[in-house]
Structure formats: C-alpha cells, structure tokens
Structure 1
Amino acid sequence: MGAVIERADVLEARDRISGHVRSTPVIDAGDELGPGRVLLKLELLQHTGSFKARGAFNRLLHARELGTLDPSLGIVVASGGNAGLANAYAAAQLGVPATVFVPETAPAVKVARLEGYGARVVLAGTEYATAYEAALREVAATGALHCHAYDQPDIAAGAGTLALEVVDQVAREVARPVDTLVVAVGGGGLLAGVTAALEGSAGVLGVEPSTAATLHAALEAGAPVDVPVSGVAADSLGARRIGQIAFDVVGRHPVTSLLVTDDEIVAARRLLWQRWRVVVEHGAAAALAALTSGRYRPEPDETVVVVLCGANTDPSDL
C-alpha cells in the first residue's frame, strides 16, 4: 500500500476530527524515571481506549467528504483489536455498518467490545496478516470502504494529531518544548503520523518488542520485511512487517529504534499500575519499558513524553 504523508496532512486531519476525539491529558512522571523531565501522555483515555480512534475518524470523515463512503455498504477492517474497536466505534457514530476481521488470538474482551459497538466480527487465522487477507477479499466482494489498521494515509495522519496535541500541551503546561517523543511500534501508523507531524522538530524513539521487531528489521534490511511475531504484546503490536508509509516517513525524518524484552514490558506495565494507578495493555507499556529498563536514559535537561497508547487489556494479571 503505502503513500507519502506530510505535516500538512496531519494538520488537515486535526481540523477534520476536531469534536470527534478527546484531548487526552499529559501528567508529570516526577523523578521515577531518571534524569530529565519525563511526562506520560495518557492516550489510553481516548475513545475506545487507544489512539486508533484518531485515524479511524479521519479515514471515515475524509471518505465521506470524497463520496467514497457508501452508508449502506459501510467499512471493513482487519485488526488484532484496537483498530477494529476504533473503526467500529467511528462507524457507529457516523451511522454506517462495520465488519471487523480479527485473528483467533484476539482477546475476548476486545471481541466483546467490537460486538458491543454493533460490528460484525469475523475470526480469521492466528495472525493479523491472515485476517488482513480475509478482509481484502471481503472488500473486493462487497465494495465496502477498506480501513487499514495502520498503513493508510488517512489513518497515519489521524494518529499524528497526537503529536500536535502533545507539543501544544507541554508548551502550555510545562513551558518547555518536547525534545523526545517515545512511541510503541507495531505496524507503524502512530510512528509515521507523529514523525511526519514533528518534521524533525523533536526526536522520535520507536520502541518495539524484541519478539516483533518490524521497524528494527526494516532499518537493518533497508526495506520492510516480514518478521516472526510472538510475545506478550503481540495482540496489539503483532504486525508482521512495518508499513510502507512508516518506512518512507522515517527515511525522510530518521527515528531511533530500540528493542525491549517481554520481561521489561511486563515490569513497566506493573510499575504504571503500582506508581500511577494507570492500567495499560502490554503494547503501550513497551514505550515506557525503554526508560524503566534503562535502555534509554534521558539527559538531565531533556523533556521526554512517553505515549501510553492503549488500555484494552485484562487487568487481572497486574
């Protein structure tokens, strides 16, 4: 798929989705995470519990503007959970039907919520890639609007509105510029959007599990490549390869890639609950694990914002 996105696309997306998504808070992490000023962006409080609502609304609203969203046919999306939830919610808000293809490994809590939003849920295979292929067959057969989980210009640009919001919040509340934005990476939609939005004005640290290292592998190979997927965060960071859009964006605005282990992700997730009473899914905890593991240590004068991107999880194992 793939296409170029620019900061202008993110600015346009911000205007388009205004009034449809929440402005989520930023809190100060204090001195828990080492030197520097570290803040936590609580995007888990977004509609449907993840940043994905931003891209979903941008995709559907833009398609409606262009006349490519047929209200009788609706939308089709393949998702390990969060993108499906976001698109099902956006479709319900706009009064169109949604069909969501999910791997059989998708958590039951996510499947139940999809159905709660009125979506038709179809189980297909054990990985996102298999569900995606099934979704494409459905689109070809029905003519419904395809909403990609991450590698689509409107989806990535919508996700990038988070970065614009963070920069404004930190300037207003802390009176400092953002030096580094830390995001978890799966398929790369959030990475692409925030990197395009910032255009090098702040550093971007992309963190991913060592058991699903799509960005790391692509940077080493010089192109997106398939990687094996496993581990505790596979339900939300389980893409088999980085999206072409993300790869193209980081080619123009280089980012730092960092890998964390499952144990480090679990420890970061537990710390968020113990210290701040914040519950996140393992994929969101991966971003914080970059700091709690000591793999990334901010400079004393550095302002770092860690994006906690989702909370669709079972809290019983905290």
Structure 2
Amino acid sequence: MCGMPQPPPVRSTPTRPPRPDASMSLLTNVMDHSLDDGYAEAAARKRADGTGGLPKTLRAKLGLAAGLVLAALVVTVGAAQARVAAPVVAKEREELIDRIDRETEAANKLEGTVDTLRDDVSRRQREALRETGGSAQAELVGILSGATAVHGPGVKLVVNDAKQATTGGDGDPRETSGFSDTGRVRDRDMQRVVNGLWESGAEAVSINGQRLTALSAIRAAGDAILVDNKPLVPPYTVLAVGDGERLSTRFQNSADGLYLHALQESYGIRTSISVENDLRLPAAPSVIVRTAQPITEKGTS
C-alpha cells in the first residue's frame, strides 16, 4: 500500500545540564588561567627590552655597596700614602727649623758685630772732636739726634692694653680710628704720647729700650706696633729724659696727656707715670744724615 513518504524519525539529543558556576565567569577565568603566565609574559618583555635580570631594588643596593667599597679603597690608599709621606714631611720640618735657628744665630752675631763697630766709631768721633775743640757741641748734637747714649732724671710712662676689650662710653677720642677693638693700644696712641713728651720738654725718648730720633717712625702692622720697623709688645714703657717734675706736670696737662687719660677712662687702657731720678737710654741703632749743607749768612759775599 502506497502512501505518502514518511519523514525520518527525529532523534532527540539529550541536552547538557548548565554548569553550576556559569554565573561566576570572572572567578572561573581566574581559576582557569594561572597568574604564572602573566609573570612569564612580563619577564619575557623585560628580557626583550634588555631590562631583565635583577630587580631595581637589588641593583640599587649592589651599586651602593660598590660605591662604598670604592670609597673605602680610596681612603685606605690615601692613608697609606700619608703614612709613607709623614717621615719625609717631619724630616723637612726639622731641617727647616734647624736652618731658621742657624740663620737667627748668625743674624744675632752680625748685630753684635755692628753694635761693637758702632761704639768704636762713636769713640773715635769723640776723640777727634776733643782734639779739634768741638767736643761740647758734638756731644749736644749727639744727644739731641739720638746718636749718643744718655742718662739723667726724667719720667717713666707705662702704657698697656686693657684687661678686656670694651666698647667704651660716650665720645670717642679716636674719632678717625678704624679699629673696632678699642681696648688695645694703637700706633696713633703711641705717636701722640711721644709727641706730647717732646712738646713737654723731653730731651731724649725711648720705647721698650729703643731710642727714638727725629727720623723714627711709629707704625702699625696688623695688631703689632712697629718702631723703626721693629715690632714691640705691650706693655709699652716710655722713658723720657728731662726735668722730671716739670716734664710730668706739663705732659699730663697737655692735650696729648688728656687724650691718654680719656683712653684710660673710656676704654680701660692702663697707664702709669712716675718721676725718676736717673734714667738710662741707649743710643739709636743707626743715625743717617740724609742731607747736610753749610749755613751761610745772608748778605755776605
């Protein structure tokens, strides 16, 4: 019996049941793909870029350690070189000290020889003047010029720095001074003292045993006072030959004496003055006559 063709039978396939974690896709992805893959990819990229190897922190620590080792090496080498050079430096220092001592001793001997020759010349001059009848006038000229040692009555003036430097009170007698430490005796102070003594009638003056002449210069070199280029140290002892009582009174009442008193009151500079019966002043180290011409009377032919 023929009839209409029948469609093939439909085979039903069984459907897979849904996964219980289908709703947790993110968590599933994390679990399925290990993090080690990410680390491997990052390491591969670093090696490709040439930055692979040790971590930055470790590289920094290694670099710091290398720098410290290098610094220690430099210090060690420098110390070794210093130890090697120390004996050489010490030897050179000793040689320099010995040379200074020898030269100082030689200079002292030469100064002694000069003083001996100067005394011999002065003696011969006095003898020659006595023979020509001009001894009295020559002695007076020698005293006034400082070429002859003298002794006699006079005053002794001691000027010393203040115990502590102070700014002083109102009114600065050193108005033109550029020194800030006003507790120290300055060259201009000694200049005024010496000039005041000359003006008050002193016939001969010395500072710390050094005779002053008409050509003597009192200057400063740093904090030191120089008299004819020789440094002096405080206290400064000024000896002035003359009429003791009169010289002392006139000096203390003069403008320069009042100036010294102002320094004492304002800045603590220590001073003392006394009248002496017999002072001894040496001759000046050297007296040079720069120019000398005979005096001619006006109107003579």
TM-score if structure 1 supplies the norm length?
0.21
TM-score if structure 2 supplies the norm length?
0.22
State the structure with more CA Rg: 2
